[in-house]
Structure 1
């Protein structure tokens, strides 16, 4: 009998029908029948912490090794959270109750905190853990050791991950510590529960019901973050309102902090720079004004009285209309250091965003952050982190790494990435961003010498005691599956794992996520992992091939609009970036153009400044090319551009084919939801390809090569498409 998901599938045309049928003719059910029972459904709420029962043979092998949990030493809220997670997780995985034990014995899992502060276990720091088997009279036990309660929590989740991925305990040895100290999610959430660039429902912070009625779901949020090592959350939008710092809302933030604290998470707030004017009724927010400094000192005292472990402030200043120190002729360092001084007595930090550009600056937008901030190297306080986006524009499907990485050796720099897919199709696409972030993290900055990656620069600042960190703009909302699309959970997971260890491979992380979220069966993992690993490049090809950027529609950034040229600021227009005309296409950032290449190390500037050695994926980012100019792959610019649009569209077809081929391994509800997303993505890939080519045909006067399909509609038809009530747009 056909499964419900198959009956519900909508196929668009005969070709798509064949595409859907092919995998079902080729793929057999796994031995012993389907991997999931027909008719089963999951809603996605459990994320990668599903803890579904192991196969009988595996459960039988592990059960004697996990008979109970022992917490040595006085219990704390954090060790209680670790113990509960182990009890619930192992009981579910093994199909038998696991007990709390009063003393160690064979088969026990022992949580052992090192309480000798003068003799910390080397290599673990304050957040790491060690897991190893322990021989004792009568058999074996497993011990998780750490220098802190939080380390024990992370070790407990690591052990559960190991079991979910097919491992047993008495042969398991792992020592791990995070390479970055601060690993935060930035929630662009507003007080009315709208979420800027959010595609998964409302904000999970229900401010109206706080502080008296914290949502029980926040505990699941904290658990999920702790399981992948995320240790902080910025609660409100970087486009902050001063009201977030008022007493009622600080009390609400304190209630959230109480829920997150047992899972090793601190709360942070985005601070509006002009708050002394708006809340304190001062006439200025000048960071060098003593009255302004006194106001922030008092505000910090007020916050820490409510939230003793408050993490600190995130600040967006003098960017896109936000107030900042530049309004008073002061530098970014002046502004950041003033706030840092207020937080320093309490142990708080400032994360100062480097996303700055000005409508009064006619220079290349990609160069403006470097120009403003690099001269301030060494001038930021010791509790300030400069938060730099992965690329110099704005979370594009592909960008070169930001030139500030490696260029500020005396400044603590953290990376900012966007988990929510503002420029990659929202929740209507499958785009695994682990490959994007790995590409940036492993990029060679050639600073201070070649062979120094972005990740190494983040992990190893000059001072051993320096702050290190990374921030991810969250894709989390009130949708039952948290992220709108089930596959977007993978990006939350990948961010956490790479924040813990930037040197982990995106392929390994994909396997981990798939096995825990769906099935560990290799017949499922192989095609699903292939789908994930090709997905982001597919989006690049059908949206911004050959190094194009920012070709998205105005404001909401969904869908193509390469023709837009009438917006108030030049750098908001897609035509600013592509610069297409009858002669050619591309942004000249060499010495003959904006010379943005000069902001990179000389070795990279030479490589990227040469059309024969620059990666073709960055060609039009750095170079202007004639339509008929022969590229080193043997095709002309025009041929290559068309070929890449077509390849991206074909890759999405392959992705859906791969998904249809593994239906027997996925429950009905999630299979149907992801299949529906892929169907939309097929439509959008064709839309992107056809609308873009219609524009370039008109602007260049070129003809399509023989055998190339013409766009389905006219350029005027594509220009007439207007989307209304698009999610993620807030006032």
Structure 2
């Protein structure tokens, strides 16, 4: 509450203290609490009452006090008090509220009478549920909702909602585009600065409940005593916010750290080493979540080194953490030379036969598509193909293949697309979302992971709009039925202002942005055309690397006759990995969605498209459409200058200019290369590339960001 003395002190501080140099630098994310209009500020609660004294309830109380003070400004809130209390509180229990379906993390917010006075009650079956409710109330108010008549209830549809940090122990971040790692391993465990708490607040506001601290390309050092102590220090900060820590485990650690001659998962000494290591970790971190493992992929060690299966390796680790309540997330991203006819088939080939062989506390973590986080891929065929195994969806929040931090690409639409995709394995309605949330096969252990786009930059994600992807991941992880457009509108309101004059254009930009990237990078189902290693810019001509699937040319198969990867029965027959109705649909170009056409088919350049254009003309049209959409985003953003603070507006405007330049480069370089193969003239009205192919092939980017191992 603002007493006269406090108000006077605030005025005095405003006069005497210099204004912060970076008042709108993006650090506050969606927790950017700003004064409400006078009417809304007056309706804010007069007080916050906490019933119980736990770190989590104190965190919820502190968040509400912080937010209400900022939202009220100089206005005195006169609304009913907000009460934070778990369901076990006697007065809350006496209300008979419908809390049975909320689980341990869900919340209910309702206006009630407690004792003899009205109150806005924030409750749940646990303190964590109350915390989630506090953040939900602030989200409601910050996006334009009113306190009067508030009635909100929600529970997560997926159990484990985890960020995967690809952070290395030297401070670098693989595929990171927002500075160095936020984990300062050098000063941990002694120093845990406020940034770690801000990280926990931001994630708890979305319902994210786990974080994997280190890169899947793991170093064994992460499992040594000094680094366990560092992880324990972070766990201490995150615990009140309902966030568990996990570690990526290097499969060969028993050899590298334990001095064993082998890491064979069926060797009793190896099992004993992992049992002891798990016990050591749990002594330091009693609520440690478990292990994430990348094995037998891109040079990482794994069970196949010993002629064992992925199930053998996962189950060994699962046995080690099971007595402590831990789980194992075993990645299905296997990228080794074992299926040379089609890299896209490899995960299915290796994992489908293992269905039902994994321990009960193992999740198989599957990327959204079968290749590698491309701007557009059909959903991964493993979804629906392993009914006896819980599958954890892996999404990439950081934009490794979608323009890094300088291209505006809202990924909520991509993730909505994959979650809504129908696997057809049990008839219509067998969506990827129902596989992931366990409802299709009755799994209780469920999870979703996002490869984080978080770094040490003040704005966390490298750009303002990249924050939206972190936000969208968290919101969809909590409730995959939320529309991507509604999430975008909510984010825009919290990040800028709820004013429709801003949210309308911003949401319009966001909703079309990912398709624009697809159009100017990989239209019509093309994939993996990026420069090798750094994945920056077009390089469809690369064809001389040691292994076929390292080369962009492997993925488009373009020649004088046509373009596209034949995945039908006349090619790799990858279509057979899908349920029969989908396999039949994808096997015929006439029934394959045009968005995936060249993913499944090698077609002649004159193939007639739905627009009536030949394929070549349609391809050029899509490139030009993508550039046009970026130009329109620039126009829309320019018009919003009066509604956005100068710092964030100027950065986004500069990044959109970079995006338009890069989009033109993608278009021109790609067309120059395709013409070198097909010998065709430019379609009528389309401009030829301004440079020859040699120029585009000569470009080199040895210091592109995010390219670390």
With the shorter chain as reference, the TM-score category is over 0.9
SS in structure 2 opposite 1:113? coil
The structure 1 residue matched to 2:197, chosen from 208, 211, 219, is: 219
Query: 1 CA distance for matches of 2:433 and 2:489?
Result: 22
- SS of corresponding position for 1:87: helix
Work out whether 1:381 is the aligned partner of 2:363: no
Residue 340 (str. 1) matches residue 313 (str. 2) = no
Alignment counterpart, residue 275 of structure 1, candidates 253, 256, 266 = 253
For residue 78 of structure 1, give the secondary structure of its aligned residue in structure 2: helix
Instruction: Quote how far apart the aligned CAs of 1:140 are.
Output: 2.8
SS of residue paired to 2:29: coil
Q: CA deviation at 1:595?
A: 0.5
Pairwise CA distance, 1:614: 0.9
Q: For residues 225 and 494 of structure 1, what CA distance do their matches in structure 2 show?
A: 11
Q: Distance in 2 between matches of 1:106 and 1:544?
A: 53
Give the one of 47, 72, 80 matched to 1:68: 47
Would you say 1:110 and 2:83 are equivalent positions?
yes
1:53 matched to 2:47: no
Q: In 1, distance between residues paired with 2:437 and 2:551?
A: 36
CA deviations over 1:313-368 (Å, ceiling 9, x no partner): 00000111110000001000000000000000000000000001322431211101
2:647 is the alignment partner of 1:669: yes
Taking structure 1 as reference, are residues 191 and 705 closer, same or farther at Cα in structure 2, changes over 3 Å only?
same
Distance 1:387 1:51 in 2: 36
In structure 1, distance between residues paired with 2:496 and 2:234: 30
Distance in 2 (alpha carbons) for counterparts of 1:566 and 1:98: 70
Q: Counterparts of 1:61-140 in structure 2 under 5 Å?
A: 62-63=43-44, 66-72=45-51, 74-95=52-73, 107-115=80-88, 121-135=99-113, 140=118
Deviation at 1:606, TM superposition (A): 1.3
Q: 1:508 maps to what in 2? A: 486
Residues in 2 aligned to 1:380 and 1:324: alpha-carbon distance in whole angstroms: 16
Deviation at 1:632, TM superposition (A): 2.8
> Counterpart of 2:395 in 1: which secondary structure?
strand
Q: Is the 8 A contact 2:122 2:130 kept in 1?
A: yes
**C-alpha separation between the residues in 2 aligned to 1:176 and 1:520?**
22
> Does 1 or 2 have the higher relative contact order (CA < 8 Å, sep 6+)?
1
* Cα deviation digits, residues 218-260 of structure 1 (max 9, x gap): 1000000000010110000000010000000100110111111
For the pair 1:178 / 2:156, whether they are aligned, the reply is: yes
- Within the candidate set 662, 675, 678, 2:656 is matched to 678
Distance 1:463 1:76, change over 3 A: farther
Shift of 1:98: 8.5
Residue pair 1:284, 1:292 contacting (<8 A) in 2 also = yes
Between the aligned partners of 1:140 and 1:76, the Cα distance in structure 2 is 24
Q: Does residue 361 of structure 1 match 2:339? A: yes
The alignment status of 1:414 with 2:387, answered yes or no, reads no
- For structure 2, list consecutive stretches of 5 or more residues without a partner in the other structure: 1-18
Residue of structure 1 equivalent to 2:403: 425
TM-score (norm 2): 0.94
For 2:439 and 2:391, locate their aligned partners in 1 and report how far apart those are by CA, in whole Å.
8
* Alpha-carbon distance, 1:714 to partner: 0.8
2:434 aligned with 1:456: yes
Shift of 1:611: 1.2
Is contact 1:189–1:235 with CA below 8 Å preserved after alignment?
A: yes
For each residue in 1:493-537, what CA deviation from the matched residue of structure 2 results, as whole angstroms up to 9, or x when unmatched? Answer: 000000000111000000000000011111111111100000000
How many angstroms does 1:572 deviate by? Answer: 1.2
Range 608-617 or range 536-545, more displaced: 608-617
Equivalent residue, structure 1, for 2:13: none
State whether structure 2 residue 145 is matched by structure 1 residue 163. Answer: no
What is the CA distance between 1:114 and its match in structure 2?
2.0
Contact 2:328–2:361 (CA<8 Å) still a contact in 1?
yes
Q: 1:640-655, aligned counterparts within 5 Å?
A: 640-655=618-633
**Partner of residue 535, structure 1:** 513
- Which SS does the other structure have where 1:651 is aligned? helix
Conservation of the 8 A alpha-carbon contact between 1:296 and 1:342:
yes
- Kindly indicate whether residue 538 of structure 2 is the aligned counterpart of residue 560 of structure 1: yes
Take 2:56 and 2:441, find their aligned partners in 1: how far apart are those partners? 30
Partner secondary structure for residue 417 of structure 1: strand
Equivalent in the alignment of 1:630: 608
> In structure 2, how many angstroms separate the alpha carbons of the residues matched to 1:603 and 1:464?
23
* Deviation digits for residues 84-136 of structure 1 (CA, Å, limit 9, x no counterpart): 0011011111225999xxxxx97111112123899993111010011111136
In structure 1, the residue corresponding to 2:269 is in which secondary structure? helix
Deviations 1:62-81 (A, max 9, x none): 23xx1111122x31011110
Note if contact 2:387-2:441 (Cα within 8 Å) is conserved in structure 1. no
Structure 1 residue 40: Cα displacement: 9.3
Change (3 A) 1:570 1:98: farther
**Residue among 163, 177, 199 paired with 2:177:** 199
Change in Cα spacing, 1:584 to 1:165, as seen in structure 2 (3 Å) is: same
Q: Show the counterpart of 1:601.
A: 579
Question: Per-residue deviation at 1:185?
Answer: 0.4
Distance 1:405 1:291, change over 3 A: same
1:285-324: per-residue Cα shift (whole Å, max 9, x none)? 0000000000000000000000000000000001111100
Q: 2: distance between equivalents of 1:378 and 1:249?
A: 34
Report the secondary structure of 1:180's partner residue.
Answer: coil
Render the CA deviation track for 1:420-446: whole Å, top value 9, x for unaligned: 000001011000000000000001110
Q: Which moved more, 1:329-338 or 1:457-466?
A: 457-466
Equivalent residues of 1:106, 1:136 under 8 A apart? no
Give CA deviations for 1:705-731 in whole Å, capped at 9, x if unaligned.
Answer: 232101011100000000121111124
How far, CA to CA, are the matches of 2:31 and 2:89 in structure 1?
33
Rounded Cα–Cα distance in structure 2 between residues aligned with 1:331 and 1:116: 50
SS in 1 for 2:149: coil
1:491 corresponds to which of 465, 469, 476: 469
Counterparts in 2 of 1:98 and 1:554: CA distance versus 1, 3 Å: farther
Render the CA deviation track for 1:449-471: whole Å, top value 9, x for unaligned.
Answer: 22211111111346756211100
Q: Which of the residues 212, 227, 240 maps onto 1:262?
A: 240
Q: Distance in 1 between matches of 2:196 and 2:467?
A: 17
Which among 11, 24, 27 is matched to residue 42 of structure 1? Answer: 24
State the TM-score, normalized to the length of structure 1: 0.92
Of 613, 617, 638, the match for 1:639: 617
Question: What is the RMSD of the two structures over their aligned residues, measured on CA atoms?
Answer: 1.8
Distance 1:495 1:618 in 2: 24
Q: Cα gap change, 1:264/1:136 in structure 2, threshold over 3 Å: closer, same or farther?
A: closer
Q: Tell me what 1:9 maps to.
A: none
Secondary structure in 2 matching 1:252: helix
> In structure 2, what is the equivalent of residue 250 of structure 1?
228
**8 Å Cα contact 1:316/1:352 also seen in 2:** yes
2:447 is equivalent to residue 469 of structure 1: yes
Question: In the comparison of the two structures, how many residue pairs are matched?
Answer: 685
Q: Report if the CA contact (8 A) 1:140-1:170 is conserved.
A: no
Contact 1:611 1:619 in 2 (8 A): yes
